[in-house]
Amino acid sequence: MIQTLLTSLWTIFATCFVAALITIFSFFTKKANIGHLIAAMWGRSILWITNIKVNVSGLSNIDPNKSYIYMPNHQSFFDIPVLFGHLRVQFRWLAKAELFKIPVFGTAMKGAGYISIDRSNKKSAKESIDKAANAIEDGVSIIIFPEGTRSKDDSIQTFKKGGFILAIDKGVPIVPVIIKGTREILARDKFIIKSGNVSFKILPPIDTSGYSLANKDELVNKVHDIMCSAYEKDY
């Protein structure tokens, strides 16, 4: 209970502070790189206050100077600070629109250049994909949870296809990311936060150049199979 209270209070304070900083910087520059670096500090601070140790592997699989579409599995809210804290490249979130409606937090996300997507509105969703494509052309990477939301159990759910369409359209590799341990720290629909250990594994990039919209389902299934296999392994 003490850990839950401490982490909650710190997250509220840190989110408000970081949102204010990002908003201020957004007045002076249209580039979101600084905002993202500030958000990364936010993520690392939450891991620190919660006493979460992250074991990182697979960094050699990526070139930090290249653009990718990173696709992590999603088990817990704590996946977000883990990604911020340990995927140390410039990236932009492609995240569900509901997150951008959260007071303060949503403002910070917009200021950092992150992109909302409303999957219930096809026109709006396409506009979001176009914004993500522009970000890739500017040399940054995109992160999207292909499951769309946190898993209800200890498994990887079916994937949404938006991120795959983007990858095929821009011809950029997909990098699967496996996160294990965050569910034990804070499970979905629970509010008891625990300290713990997290495994964070970056898998080799998957080339998308041989795929088109006509056979995108093959790519979706391939990435899903690779991630499920890696998640089930004891590494």
CATH number at residue 192: 3.40.1130.10
pLDDT band at residue 195 under the 50/70/90 scheme: very high
Q: What is the mean pLDDT of residues 51-66?
A: 93
Question: What pLDDT score was predicted for residue 31?
Answer: 67
Q: Is the pLDDT of residue 167 over 60?
A: yes
Band (pLDDT 50/70/90 cuts) for residue 30 is: low
Q: Which pLDDT score is estimated for 132?
A: 81
Number of domains present in the structure of the chain: 1
% the chain with pLDDT above 70:
93
Write down the mean pLDDT value for the chain: 86
Task: Give the model confidence (pLDDT) of 198-232 as tens digits.
Answer: 999 999 999 999 899 899 999 999 999 999 999 88
Q: What percent of the chain has pLDDT over 90?
A: 45
Instruction: Provide CB contacts within 8 A for 175, sequence distance 6+.
Output: 61, 62, 68, 69, 70, 71, 202, 203, 204, 205, 206
- pTM (2 d.p.): 0.89
The boundaries of the domain holding residue 185 are: 2-232
Looking at residue 29, its pLDDT comes to 63
Predicted confidence at residue 234, as pLDDT, reads 57
- Which contacts qualify for 31-39: CB closer than 8 Å, 24 or more apart? 31/113, 32/92, 32/111, 32/112, 32/113, 32/114, 33/90, 33/140, 35/108, 35/111, 35/112, 35/113, 36/90, 36/91, 36/92, 36/112, 36/113, 38/112, 39/84, 39/108, 39/112
Per-residue pLDDT at 14 = 87
Q: What is the pLDDT of residues 78-100, one digit of tens each?
A: 999 999 999 988 888 887 777 77
Q: Which residue has the higher pLDDT, 125 or 151?
A: 151
* pLDDT(235) > 60: no
Given a contact cutoff of 8 angstroms between Cβ atoms, the answer to whether 49 and 6 are in contact is yes
